[in-house]
Structure 1
Amino acid sequence: MQNSLIKELKSLYTGEGFSSVMFFLIWLYCCFNHEYQAIAVSFHVAFPLITLCFMLAVGAFFWKLMYDVVKKRGKMHMTIEQQRLFILFKRVSIVLIMICSMLFIYALMAGEQYFMISAFLLCFAIVEYINYFHIRLSYLTPREFGALLKHRRLRRSHLNRIMHEEVID
């Protein structure tokens, strides 16, 4: 059980971290490639992409913390400093998503090109925000998905549960 949890947590933090870095590197590549430069430097595309990278990096950081705790055979708790840091991440995420939403509305009203890419990135960032800070949206195994259908209610995300439990020091 412990080994499978360690493998899952390692997979989560490496996957989220890799995604964050790769999205950013692809964006940088597009910024310097004349073929894609117009898309990459469009503020209503660049800002949601950077927001998404931030969200994925937050997820990678959380799963890495949990991986380190489980590897040391500890219980998954956060210190007060870690809780405050993730509350700050949550607030920053909300502000970034609000800015992205305003940029998307502006792009839509101004008839800017590439607003569908902007919409996709904004939706992806919102889904990641909900998945990390509110309710769990990913149910990986058939058993988890079956429990979701049976009980007809979504579970709070792991980060949400840990952020709001008793603090240890």
Structure 2
Amino acid sequence: MRKKVEKTLFGLWAGELFAVVCFALLWLIYAQHFEWAEPYVTSWPSVYAFALLEFILLQGSYYWFVKWKQVRRGCFSHLPDRHLRLFHVFKRINLFLIAIGLLFLIYQWKVFSVDFYWFVFLYLFAILEYINYYHVRLSYQTIDEIKDFLRQRGFRRSKLASEWKTRS
């Protein structure tokens, strides 16, 4: 059982980190090699939304990494208070950055530049990742997870949000 949980957690943190690195590499490749992509990947609003997304994905990777390290040590308990406080700080920073993103959204909507839809996609992706980590679980990937989701008739609290709730 422990090995299975350890393997799952390793896959989660490594997968999130891999996504962060791959997204960044693809962003750079498109910026340097595809002229048609330049307005999409070099505008300030798009860069901002992309950086916000990457920042939130890194937090997810870090969360799963910490949980993986706990399981490797044989500890299946909740996160230590210092980690919970750090994620609480991240949560506040995320909300501040999302609010700034609203200003970019308003600007993009008024100007309606060529990258409007790309910005909206990245911005919404970042918000969904934030919700997925800090509020309710939005990602269900395996058949068993999907069946469980259908049986429970709704979304579950995210793992991180559950840890906060048990501490309250």
Q: What TM-score do the two structures reach when normalised by structure 1? A: 0.90
Displacement of 1:101 after TM fit? 2.3
Displacement of 1:15 after TM fit? 0.7
Contact kept, 8 Å, 1:78 with 1:163, in 2: the verdict is no
The range that moved more, 102-111 or 140-149, is: 140-149
Aligned equivalents of 1:157, 1:58: Cα separation in 2: 14
Structure with greater proportional helix content: 2
| Paired letter, 2:77 | M
Aligned equivalents of 1:80, 1:150: Cα separation in 2: 33
CA deviations on 1:100-131 (whole Å, 9 max, x unpaired) are 22212211211211111111101111110111
**Which residue of structure 1 lines up, in the alignment, with residue 109 of structure 2?**
108
**Which residue of structure 2 lines up, in the alignment, with residue 151 of structure 1?**
152
Q: Given the superposition, is the C-alpha separation of residues 106 and 146 from structure 1 closer, same or farther in structure 2, using an over 3 Å criterion?
A: same
Contact kept, 8 Å, 1:17 with 1:56, in 2: the verdict is yes
Contact kept, 8 Å, 2:67 with 2:79, in 1: the verdict is no
CA deviations on 1:27-50 (whole Å, 9 max, x unpaired) are 334444461333222011110000
Percent identical pairs in the alignment equals 34
Question: Which runs of 5 or more structure 1 residues have no equivalent in the other structure?
Answer: none
Across the two proteins, how many residue pairs are aligned to each other? 167
Question: Which runs of 5 or more structure 2 residues have no equivalent in the other structure?
Answer: none
Aligned equivalents of 2:59, 2:139: Cα separation in 1: 17
| Paired letter, 2:51 | I
**Which residue of structure 1 lines up, in the alignment, with residue 5 of structure 2?**
5
Q: What TM-score do the two structures reach when normalised by structure 2? A: 0.91
**Which residue of structure 2 lines up, in the alignment, with residue 81 of structure 1?**
82
**Which residue of structure 1 lines up, in the alignment, with residue 100 of structure 2?**
99
